[in-house]
């Protein structure tokens, strides 16, 4: 626990005010004695291997200095310094994480009207990152901060570049980030690029829309099984060296039971969750998507699914996945899908969420 004593000559931690704690260290609320402003200071642990992580993050943050933190929706870094054996990085103080905001606002999920500005701002942040040759590699609700929960439309910023990498410096087989938000190519040890951030963005948006994590597996195998259950079997040329193969249901439930803006949102999210990374939508393409067009009216004032409609999705699509097969199993071809069929895909996702929900509760 950080003691309420000076961190270097210019930062004084506020008593017992720890904002967060992780595997690399803590984030403390501190007063800058030179400016009298309250800032968030990340204090890295003085352990073997952590120094390299800290220096990597500082290198990434230096590359981002040219960006405007407000228009690019990336947290502002005020600088870094050493406190005895610890490396410290100072950031602007923000309100609360998107994860905490969801629980406070509506644990069952946000409306499309609330989702739209969040998605646009995160796509903006990723667009600037990717244009700078940087992969965030750990996009998830705790790593998105709300600037001020009382201001609407909500303004958010991307934080935590502890595992961020330059695209040019990524090696095949590298695994970083958080299991539940990792793209399949990362889990399988395949080559990957900035498209893994788009996969994570899709999962994040599903979580904000439904209030539930989509792939809450405990192992890489669990997560991959859930991915293939909801999205079908990838062909061999998509994951050349992977050996896991699964059978999935061929039929899709088709029900145009959502408002038009929700259908468009589902279609957009699906383009982020393409198993083929080369076909995954880019951050710049997201910003040009018709979901943000002026003529798309916010028709929905409720989250995508209430508890009762989640169960309805389970009843309509009551198909259990077949056991996994050998690497030689012929993959199932998924036909071209319309907007209506996108809803069937989303229903399968909701069914996966419900099954996980019952597993953890009962």
The DSSP letter of residue 141 is G
Distance CA 350, CA 345 (A): 9
Rounded to 5 degrees, φ, ψ at 144 are: -125, 125
**The pLDDT value given to residue 309:** 36
Q: Which SS3 state, helix, strand or coil, does residue 221 take?
A: helix
Q: Of 95, 138, 160, 236, which is the active-site residue? A: 138
Is 138 designated active site? yes
Residue 338 Ramachandran class (φ > 0 left, ψ -120 to 50 alpha, else beta): beta
Task: Please enumerate in sequence order all residues whose Cβ is within 8 A of that of 331, keeping only pairs 6 or more positions apart, or say none.
Answer: 233, 234, 235, 236, 245
Residues of the chain with CATH 3.30.200.20: 11-92
Which of 259, 261, 248, 257 shows the shortest CA–CA distance to 291?
Answer: 261
Tell me which CATH homologous superfamily contains domain 96-361: Transferase(Phosphotransferase) domain 1 (1.10.510.10)
State the residue for tokens 């069914």.
351
Q: 172 and 190 in contact (C-beta within 8 Å)?
A: yes
**Residue appearing with tokens 């409720």:** 302
- CATH number (2.120.10.30, 3.40.50.1820, 1.10.3720.10, 3.30.200.20) of 11-92 reads 3.30.200.20
For residues 292-318, one letter each, b for 16 or more C-beta atoms within 10 angstroms of the residue's C-beta and e for the rest, the string is beeebeeebeebbbeeeebebbbeebe
Region(s) of the chain under CATH 1.10.510.10: 96-361
Bond into 153 cis (ω within 30): yes
Q: Please report the pLDDT score of residue 216 as a whole number.
A: 85
**What does each of the 362 residues of the chain score in pLDDT, given as a tens digit?**
344 445 667 888 886 678 988 888 999 999 999 999 999 999 999 888 898 899 999 999 999 999 999 999 999 999 999 888 889 999 999 999 999 999 999 999 999 999 999 999 999 999 999 999 999 999 999 999 999 999 989 999 999 999 999 999 887 667 778 999 999 999 988 889 999 999 999 999 999 999 999 998 889 999 999 998 888 766 655 555 444 443 343 333 344 446 788 999 999 999 999 999 999 999 999 999 999 998 776 666 667 654 333 333 333 233 333 333 333 332 323 334 455 555 566 566 666 555 554 444 44
């Amino acid at each position: 626990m950080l003691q309420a004593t000076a961190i270097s000559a210019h930062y004084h931690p506020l008593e017992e005010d720890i904002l967060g704690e992780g595997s690399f260290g803590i984030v403390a609320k501190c007063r800058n004695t030179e400016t009298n402003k309250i800032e968030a200071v990340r204090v890295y642990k003085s352990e073997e291997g952590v120094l390299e992580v800290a220096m990597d993050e500082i290198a990434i943050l230096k590359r981002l200095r040219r960006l405007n933190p407000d228009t690019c929706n990336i947290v502002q870094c005020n600088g870094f310094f050493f406190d005895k054996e610890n490396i410290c990085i100072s950031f602007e103080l923000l309100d609360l994480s998107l994860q905490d905001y969801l629980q406070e606002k509506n644990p069952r999920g946000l409306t499309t009207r609330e989702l739209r500005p969040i998605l646009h701002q995160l796509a903006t942040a990723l667009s600037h990152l990717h244009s700078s040759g940087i992969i965030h590699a750990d996009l998830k609700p705790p790593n998105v901060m709300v600037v001020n929960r009382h201001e609407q439309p909500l303004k958010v910023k991307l934080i935590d570049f502890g595992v961020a990498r330059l695209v040019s410096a990524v090696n095949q087989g590298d695994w970083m980030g958080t299991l539940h938000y990792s793209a399949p190519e990362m889990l399988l040890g395949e080559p990957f690029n900035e498209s893994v951030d788009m996969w994570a963005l899709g999962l994040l948006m599903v979580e904000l829309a439904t209030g539930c994590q989509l792939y809450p597996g405990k192992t890489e195998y669990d997560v991959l099984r859930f991915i293939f259950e909801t999205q079908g079997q990838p062909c061999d040329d998509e994951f050349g060296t992977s050996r896991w193969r699964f059978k999935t249901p061929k039929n899709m439930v088709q029900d145009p039971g959502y408002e038009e803006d929700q259908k468009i949102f589902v279609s957009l999210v699906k383009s982020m969750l393409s198993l083929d990374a080369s076909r995954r939508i880019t951050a710049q393409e997201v910003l040009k998507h018709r979901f943000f067009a002026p003529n798309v009216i916010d028709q929905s004032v409720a989250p995508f699914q209430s508890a009762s409609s989640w169960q309805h999705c389970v009843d309509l699509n009551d198909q259990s996945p077949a056991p996994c097969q050998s690497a030689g199993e012929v993959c199932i071809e998924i036909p071209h899908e319309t907007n209506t069929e996108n809803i069937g895909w989303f229903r399968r996702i909701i069914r996966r969420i419900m099954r996980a929900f019952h597993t953890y509760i009962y």
